[in-house]
């Protein structure tokens, strides 16, 4: 203790380093360590000085010692309590993730109570640590004081500082957003209602209206991705084992079409209008088992037989497969980067099936007569943005995730970003402006699907799930879905 009291420059340096290395928002995902370190110094040094000067008053009066004499030991005590608060912060973060409800309305109702609970944890640890440091100092400095009196002084010291800093901390770290009302449901949705297809939390494909009514399980199987042909009442979906399956909505029959360990998306599968043939792109390795291409394969849903086409396409990871409105022709759209023009070039090839013979022909224009199929086609972030002539909605993923809504000269946000750096604790994605132009749907990383009334800035939970679609042109398949890569 004598070392800390006599080496004042080293004590100050230790305080600055502790503030720099242990800022309250120094998380692993902060990335910019320099910024976090400077932020820690800028924020914690003034707070530490304020705490020292305020706590010195009751301590000097209670122990009947000069005020200046208390400042040195209080500096040590506050550094110690700050370091002891690091595991408390980790504990609070774990309790936050375990016990805070996921739906936004319940989350924001519970947030003040969780914030108070976290502050009490810090308060108790601060009392214990500062009592120990001050008690040890009094013993070595031979200052006569009883344990009860010293405990009372430490309690008064921290009540004075926490009465100021706890509300200030809550105000600075609470989530910021521009939503006026959060509701537990979406029963207020405007009519006519929109039907939404989505994957539920237990993996089934379900459907529900935007007001939360008419919920039904569509596919009672584990679904990872899907496309829907409403005119035929057919679903193509990829289950939890990556097996491509065909589901008949009329009788609930499921047919396994393709068992594979190959990585593929629903862009690379399609089905004929009569529901008798499924086409998909199967991987073909070269002789070095390194570069892979794709061969269209046909699966007969009646005989359960596979038929190769013997036509190899270069794998560009931009292949889109779609059947025409005729049962004998389907198309492959390929998108490839052209280094000469610095642009993507989309080519379309038609494949016609006639007497078990496949005829391939490259065509110049986008076919118009495609089968009507709906799904999450294109790149994964293609659904982070939606707009019309009057409104623009964009979901930003990752650090600082939020949804930004722009309408005329108005701009507002939906976010869940507690903490000083506002890094966010949930990611927002998949915004979809409804056809009425007054509402939109979005999802988040906590498996919530929400409805937003734009004019009233009201957000309500529709259901819990992910990967939602509506039967609108936004989710309709075409051979150029990969051209929606703007972000």
The structure tokens listed for 456 are 């009233």
pLDDT at 486 over 60: no
Which pLDDT score is estimated for 109?
Answer: 95
- Cα-Cα-Cα-Cα dihedral sign, residues 444, 449, 455, 458: negative
3-state secondary structure 254-285: EEEEECCCCCCCHHHEEECCCCCEEEEEEEEE
Q: What is the mean pLDDT of residues 176-184?
A: 95
Using 50, 70 and 90 to split pLDDT, how confident is the model at 183? very high
pLDDT tens by residue, 273-318: 888 889 898 887 665 555 567 888 889 898 898 888 878 776 656 6
Element (H, E) at 439: strand 439-444
- The least confident of 10-14, 129-133, 246-250 is 10-14
The structure tokens listed for 387 are 């707009």
pLDDT at 487 over 50: no
Contact 89, 24 (CB under 8 A): yes
Residues 225, 375: Cα–Cα separation, whole Å: 8
Element (H, E) at 464: strand 458-470
What is the DSSP-derived secondary structure letter of residue 482?
G
Residues 125, 131: Cα–Cα separation, whole Å: 10
Which pLDDT score is estimated for 291?
Answer: 55
pLDDT at 411 over 60: yes
Residues 391, 175: Cα–Cα separation, whole Å: 25
Residues 38, 19: Cα–Cα separation, whole Å: 9
Q: What is the CA radius of gyration of the chain?
A: 31
Residues 18, 214: Cα–Cα separation, whole Å: 57
Which pLDDT score is estimated for 310?
Answer: 78
Which pLDDT score is estimated for 318?
Answer: 66
Letter string b/e over residues 346-360, b meaning 16 or more CB atoms within 10 A of that residue's CB: bebbebebeeeeeee
Contact 254, 246 (CB under 8 A): yes
- The least confident of 7-11, 392-396, 455-459, 469-473 is 7-11
Q: Which carries the bigger pLDDT value, residue 29 or residue 16? A: 16
Mean pLDDT of the chain: 83
Give residues with Cβ within 8 angstroms of 410, minimum separation 6: none
Percentage of the chain modeled with pLDDT above 70: 81
Using 50, 70 and 90 to split pLDDT, how confident is the model at 223? very high
Residues 132, 121: Cα–Cα separation, whole Å: 17
Residues 465, 70: Cα–Cα separation, whole Å: 57
Owner of token pair 């519970």? 110
Contact 189, 210 (CB under 8 A): yes
Percentage of the chain modeled with pLDDT above 90: 45
Residues 225, 197: Cα–Cα separation, whole Å: 11
Q: What is the separation, in whole angstroms, between the first and last Cα of the chain?
A: 58
Element (H, E) at 76: helix 67-99
So where are the chain's domains? 2-173, 176-227+378-487, 231-371
Using 50, 70 and 90 to split pLDDT, how confident is the model at 323? confident
Fold of 231-371: Methylamine Dehydrogenase; Chain H (2.130.10)
Q: What is the DSSP string of 375-397?
A: E--S-GGGGSEEE-SSEEEEEEP
How deeply is 186 buried, as exposed, middle or buried, from its count of CB atoms within 10 A (0-12, 13-18, 19+)? Answer: buried
Which pLDDT score is estimated for 326?
Answer: 80
pLDDT at 221 over 50: yes
Which pLDDT score is estimated for 357?
Answer: 66
What is the DSSP-derived secondary structure letter of residue 434?
-
């Amino acid at each position: 203790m004598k070392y800390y009291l006599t080496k004042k420059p080293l004590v100050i340096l230790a305080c600055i380093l502790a503030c720099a290395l242990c800022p309250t928002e120094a998380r692993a995902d902060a990335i910019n360590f320099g910024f976090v370190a400077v932020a820690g110094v800028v924020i914690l040094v003034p707070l530490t000085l304020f705490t020292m000067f305020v706590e010195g008053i009751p301590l000097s009066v209670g122990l009947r010692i000069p005020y200046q004499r208390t400042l040195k030991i209080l500096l040590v005590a506050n550094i110690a309590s700050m370091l002891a608060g690091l595991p408390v912060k980790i504990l609070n973060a774990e309790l936050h993730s375990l016990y805070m409800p996921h739906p936004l309305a319940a989350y924001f109702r519970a947030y003040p109570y969780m914030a108070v609970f976290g502050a009490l944890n810090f308060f108790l640890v601060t009392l214990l640590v500062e009592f120990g440091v001050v008690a040890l100092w009094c013993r070595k400095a031979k200052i006569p004081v009883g344990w009860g009196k010293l405990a009372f002084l430490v309690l008064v010291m921290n009540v004075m500082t926490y009465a100021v800093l706890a509300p200030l901390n809550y105000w600075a770290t609470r989530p910021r957003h521009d939503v006026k009302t959060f509701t537990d449901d979406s029963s207020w949705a405007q009519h006519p209602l929109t039907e939404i297809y989505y994957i539920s939390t237990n993996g089934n494909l379900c459907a529900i209206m935007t007001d939360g009514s008419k919920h039904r399980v569509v596919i009672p199987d584990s679904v990872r991705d899907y496309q829907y042909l409403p005119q035929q009442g057919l679903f193509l979906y990829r289950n939890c084992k990556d097996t491509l399956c065909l589901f008949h909505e009329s009788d609930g029959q499921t047919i396994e079409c393709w068992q594979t360990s190959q990585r593929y998306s629903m862009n690379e599968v399609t089905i004929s209008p009569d529901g008798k043939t499924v086409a998909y792109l199967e991987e073909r390795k070269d002789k070095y088992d390194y570069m892979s291409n794709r061969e269209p394969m046909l699966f007969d849903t009646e005989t359960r037989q596979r038929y190769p086409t013997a036509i190899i396409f270069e794998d560009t990871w931009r292949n889109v497969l779609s059947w025409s409105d005729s049962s004998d022709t389907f198309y492959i759209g390929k998108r490839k980067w052209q280094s000469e023009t610095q642009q993507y070039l989309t080519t379309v090839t038609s494949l016609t099936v006639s007497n078990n013979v496949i005829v391939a022909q490259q065509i110049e224009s986008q076919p118009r007569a495609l089968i009507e199929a709906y799904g999450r086609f294109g790149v994964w972030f293609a659904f982070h943005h939606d707009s019309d002539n009057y409104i623009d909605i964009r979901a930003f993923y990752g650090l600082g995730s939020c949804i930004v809504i722009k309408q005329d000269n108005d701009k507002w946000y939906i976010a869940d970003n507690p903490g000083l750096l506002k890094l966010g604790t949930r990611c927002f994605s998949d915004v979809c402006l409804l056809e009425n132009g007054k509402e939109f749907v979005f999802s988040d990383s906590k498996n919530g699907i929400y409805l937003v009334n734009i004019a009233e800035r009201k957000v309500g939970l529709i259901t819990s799930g992910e990967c939602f679609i509506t039967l609108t042109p936004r989710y309709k398949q075409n051979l150029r879905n990969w051209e929606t890569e703007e972000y």
